[in-house]
């Protein structure tokens, strides 16, 4: 008989200037989440370093690594030993001069079950990702795992309903959004509450519109983009944490603080998902014959 539920672990962590220490911390958090019963465990975006995209520096391409590579080897060992699925966002070196922000799905035997390359790449003050990351070319993806079918998107993807829809249509029971989002020091007082609320609300909307669970997995702490003692110019970013799990009604089931490292463990109940979709049959009532203009940039 197929399982009717599984448990997810959402890791909210702060990141320091030493990549090796961040990886050790992440491995320990995965161990702890597994010990608490989590079966599918997600780390925040680019957890191996402080958020280096606060400046444009070609030397920082040296942080990237191949997939498979050292990080997937270490994470795969924990996944195999604990019998859990691990989702990690890595800076991928695909080829010379070609780099991606890539989410890796590692099965409970430690093997790589699939990858997703971040599709939407931002370019804003202190978020200079277009300098580092080539947009994904694999499309939106849901991955079969031992415990359930999961959707993988990354950070800036979370603002786009098209990505959520296309992933949900592949049969995912949850959308994971590993994230690195925070407040600019000059903006927090005036806009901080509204920015956080918008981030939370749009993802809850994806849960409702698709009848699906959604997990936003953010980092926390103040960062200057320090990589081994070399910080970025500017005032830095305060990552707002707030990691959460929402159900298919958009209800917040679990939510972390703004400023503390935490592990959230919650349940994905496939029976609840089925019940919600029976009563709110958005997939049934979609007018797939009428959406032909969606691929257009703008309708003049």
Q: Which residues are catalytic?
A: 45, 118, 155
User: Is 75 within 8 Å of 126 (Cβ atoms)?
Assistant: no
The Cα–Cα gap between 249 and 277 comes to 10
What pLDDT is recorded for position 96?
97
What pLDDT is recorded for position 3?
83
Residue 82 forms part of a structural domain: yes
254 pLDDT more than 90 = yes
| 1-41 pLDDT, tens digit each | 678 999 999 999 999 999 999 999 999 999 999 999 999 99
Virtual CA dihedral for 73, 78, 83, 89, nearest 10 degrees? -60
70 pLDDT more than 90 = yes
With cut-offs at 50, 70 and 90, classify the pLDDT of residue 75.
Answer: very high
CB neighbours of residue 98 within 10 Å = 11
Residue 298 forms part of a structural domain: no
Domain count, the chain: 1
What pLDDT is recorded for position 78?
98
Q: What is the mean pLDDT of residues 162-181?
A: 98
What counts of helices (H) and strands (E) characterise the chain? 6, 15
The Cα–Cα gap between 206 and 212 comes to 8
Residue 85 exposed, middle or buried by CB count within 10 Å (0-12, 13-18, 19+): buried
Q: What is the mean pLDDT of residues 205-219?
A: 98
Structure tokens at 232: 């970025």
Residue 211 forms part of a structural domain: yes
Q: What is the mean pLDDT of residues 238-255?
A: 98
Residue 270 forms part of a structural domain: yes
| 259-297 pLDDT, tens digit each | 999 999 999 999 999 999 999 999 999 999 999 999 999
Residue 212 forms part of a structural domain: yes
State the average pLDDT for the chain.
97
Q: What is the mean pLDDT of residues 41-45?
A: 98
User: Is 39 within 8 Å of 147 (Cβ atoms)?
Assistant: yes
> Among residues of the chain, what percentage have pLDDT more than 70?
100
What pLDDT is recorded for position 206?
98
CB neighbours of residue 221 within 10 Å = 19
User: Is 102 within 8 Å of 132 (Cβ atoms)?
Assistant: no
What pLDDT is recorded for position 110?
98
Residue 293 forms part of a structural domain: no
| DSSP H stretches of helix in the chain | 19-35, 70-82, 161-168, 188-210, 270-279, 282-285
Q: What is the mean pLDDT of residues 134-142?
A: 97
Q: What is the mean pLDDT of residues 71-81?
A: 98
Q: Is 2 helix (H, G, I), strand (E, B) or coil?
A: coil
Query: In CATH, what number is assigned to the domain containing residue 195?
Result: 3.60.110.10
The Cα–Cα gap between 159 and 155 comes to 8
Parent domain of 37: 5-282
Residue 11 forms part of a structural domain: yes
> Among residues of the chain, what percentage have pLDDT more than 90?
99
What sign for the dihedral angle of Cα 30, 261, 105, 265? positive
Q: What is the mean pLDDT of residues 203-207?
A: 98
Residue 40 forms part of a structural domain: yes
């Amino acid at each position: 008989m197929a399982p009717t539920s599984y448990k997810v672990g959402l890791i909210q962590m702060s990141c320091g200037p030493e990549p090796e220490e961040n990886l050790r911390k992440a491995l320990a958090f995965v161990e702890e989440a597994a010990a608490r019963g989590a079966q599918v465990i997600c780390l925040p975006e680019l957890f191996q370093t402080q958020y280096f995209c606060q400046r444009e520096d070609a030397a920082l391409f040296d942080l990237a690594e191949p997939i498979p590579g050292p990080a997937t080897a270490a994470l795969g060992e924990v996944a195999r030993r604990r019998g859990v699925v691990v989702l990690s966002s890595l800076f991928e070196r695909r080829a010379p001069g070609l780099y991606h922000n890539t989410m890796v799905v590692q099965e409970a035997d430690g093997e790589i079950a699939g990858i997703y390359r971040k599709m939407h790449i931002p370019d804003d003050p202190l978020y200079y990702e277009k300098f580092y990351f080539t947009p994904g070319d694999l499309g939106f993806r849901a991955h079969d795992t031992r415990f359930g079918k999961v959707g993988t998107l990354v950070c800036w993807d979370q603002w786009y309903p098209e990505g959520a829809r296309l992933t949900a249509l592949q049969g995912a029971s949850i959308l994971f959004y590993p994230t690195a989002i925070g407040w600019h020091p000059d903006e927090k007082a005036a806009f901080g509450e509204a920015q956080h609320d918008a981030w939370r609300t749009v993802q809850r909307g994806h849960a409702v519109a698709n009848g699906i669970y959604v997990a936003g997995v953010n980092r926390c702490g103040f960062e200057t983009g320090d990589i081994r003692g070399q910080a970025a110019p500017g005032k830095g970013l305060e990552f707002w944490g707030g990691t959460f799990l929402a159900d298919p009604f958009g209800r917040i089931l679990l939510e972390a603080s703004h400023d503390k490292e935490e592990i959230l463990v919650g349940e994905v109940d496939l029976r609840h998902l089925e019940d919600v979709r029976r009563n709110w049959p958005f997939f049934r009532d979609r007018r797939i014959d009428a959406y032909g203009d969606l691929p257009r940039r703008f309708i003049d």
